[in-house]
Structure 1
């Protein structure tokens, strides 16, 4: 069967100058409030198990968010406000359940899983109503990865968390291994079978849809900027309860400088909040996971900065590793984004992503005797280095776009 016979004419998105609507902004704020709640799992002295649990819940929350972000992106004026509001409520319930889930409370864990399942099913129904299959992210309207979450409603720890992880892995598999046209063929065959049943009327054919790139990049960038703002809020909240002394003043300046440098890299030298990413160089299937993991690193960085306020003398090993590893992960993802560029230069790779990944990890491993202020200011220098490198290169090569 050819692609055309699957009802697969891709609908061209509107070329109008679109910006995020008030409903979408409201939705993003609720989503990032949930991310902030999940980031609190990293407060104190988190161990590897805490970091893994944070990553699991963050991936689940981001997946629910991107399903409806893409729905609104494609539907545009046809977005059902009630559908998005129900999704917001489901994500708010997930966020409220996070502390209890972390403490091992069965009721909170079941509520979190049930809210996630209902949110994903709602996304699936929204796409079925539109009779479209999204080319860029087929997992947005498929509930294949939801099955382990449903099973987890009757399972206790630790098997429950493994089922959740399996659900995330299945979603990633669908994202990279299943094409949208395969989804169309599967659903068309199923609907043909169902239409033969008495009393069933066959609906119109399915079509393929693509996301609107400029609008999607704005939504992704807004998510990143709100996460950075949450980092500032966490430092402010922690500083408000700490004794106001010289070390706190120095730390506050350093933390703000670090977040500002990250902002400049993400938005003045990046695209959609991803540093060193250029528009159109990566397909959405690659760019969206990149955005997910980058936002996760930034939320972890924000949590580590908030926790560091309580340890202005020296950082506990766990907090230092979290702080440095989050920044190293950020630069690792910037290097992956750079790989998509057409004008790649090996010199840039060796001068920016490699040292910016390696130095924070060296600082994490060998900086136990350094003061908190010294560690944070060294990370500021690491974050400023790509900006200084780009500025120097721009002076030497005026025609280069970096």
Structure 2
């Protein structure tokens, strides 16, 4: 347990998301919804845009989520509200980016740059180093986004991808010592520019509150699962209600419930089979990001499936199946840190849950829409069934003799 978590435990206080943080998370609802709609067409271009924009939106969200986590009651409300406005601009600009509108693309890039610079500013003001996510306070990945303000597609998208890649590079390669040296170099430059030679406060290492961060990450997963329900409801309001729709809606709801159960009843921070502190934050946060990306893609696939009740287009079938396979692949990565029985669990659960959806995607062209979604429900329920059977076999052996 880190120092901040220990302090809360010692005081007997359970810290939960504040009203400001919940308000901030509502922006994620709009952003995820707009980005997920990109996948309704199911093309390669839309998939690339989805990946770029989801990573950018999640990065902007996590920068201020971590800031609120560390700052607590000292969070600057006006700064968070400014970041919220910029993220709302990003969400509103998504359809324009998809349509190739230069004005909306520039607005999205500018809003993203402002969010990242605001995050960098608050961390420098706090004189703290966030070693768990250094990209939140280093602006290397922002430079390509600034350059993209004068670029046109497709160069604009390549610059955005370069910015995301640089952020990932910083996250996995920059050490705490490197960040300290960067802050000290910045302080030396500031002292040279200033006529006053005032002493600056020493830089300290920020220790996130693990329990509070887990709650915020879980809330984001809930938002994404809720978007799946919203996608089906929106599509169902525009089609004729018949037996196929009833069967699909039931299957879609049960699929999302099964995913909720895996993520929260058998997981941590919304990631199935992840346990508290089993992974460092530098590994757990990207895992959370990619898993949410798969869930949002699945939500878009369910919405598109509701519009094609007889037979799924190939792109939609692959979107549904591949996103579920990706979800279970990331689940397997999280389960690697589980003690004991991991190899058997990976072979019995993760392997079939990853391979069966891909087989359905590749050879299920003749299947109806409802049949495909119900097959995915069966795949998603298998981990729970397997765990129940294994617990049932282990219970008699563990039962004490009378």
| CA positional deviation for 1:28 | 0.8
| CA positional deviation for 1:12 | 4.2
Contact in 2 for aligned 1:124/1:140 (Cα 8 Å):
yes
**1:397 alignment partner, SS class:** helix
**1:41 is matched with which residue: 38, 42, 51?**
38
What are the equivalent positions in structure 2 for 1:257-336 lying under 5 Å apart?
257-336=254-333
Contact in 1 for aligned 2:271/2:291 (Cα 8 Å):
yes
**What is aligned with 1:65?**
61
**Separation of aligned partners in 2, 1:67 and 1:261:** 30
Q: Does 1:83 align with 2:44?
A: no
**Separation of aligned partners in 1, 2:30 and 2:106:** 20
**Separation of aligned partners in 2, 1:190 and 1:69:** 25
**2:308 alignment partner, SS class:** coil
**Separation of aligned partners in 1, 2:179 and 2:143:** 17
**Separation of aligned partners in 2, 1:68 and 1:345:** 35
Contact in 2 for aligned 1:192/1:202 (Cα 8 Å):
no
**Separation of aligned partners in 2, 1:383 and 1:33:** 27
**Separation of aligned partners in 2, 1:161 and 1:79:** 33
Task: Tell me the matched-pair count.
Answer: 390
**1:252 is matched with which residue: 249, 252, 261?**
249
The gaps in structure 2 that reach 5 residues or longer are none
| Cα deviation digits, residues 186-237 of structure 1 (max 9, x gap) | 2113312431445143421111112111000000001001110111011011
| Cα deviation digits, residues 239-289 of structure 1 (max 9, x gap) | 111101111001100000100100000001111100111111000000000
| Cα deviation digits, residues 78-125 of structure 1 (max 9, x gap) | 111111111100000000000001111110100000000001001111
| CA positional deviation for 1:141 | 1.1
Q: Does 1:146 align with 2:142?
A: yes
**Separation of aligned partners in 2, 1:212 and 1:198:** 36
What TM-score do the two structures reach when normalised by structure 2?
0.95
**Separation of aligned partners in 1, 2:170 and 2:132:** 11
**1:392 is matched with which residue: 386, 389, 392?**
389
The gaps in structure 1 that reach 5 residues or longer are 1-9
| Cα deviation digits, residues 5-33 of structure 1 (max 9, x gap) | xxxxx964542411011111111111121
**2:147 alignment partner, SS class:** helix
35-44 vs 164-173, which moves further: 35-44
| CA positional deviation for 1:319 | 0.2
| Cα deviation digits, residues 45-71 of structure 1 (max 9, x gap) | x12221111000000000000000000
What TM-score do the two structures reach when normalised by structure 1?
0.95
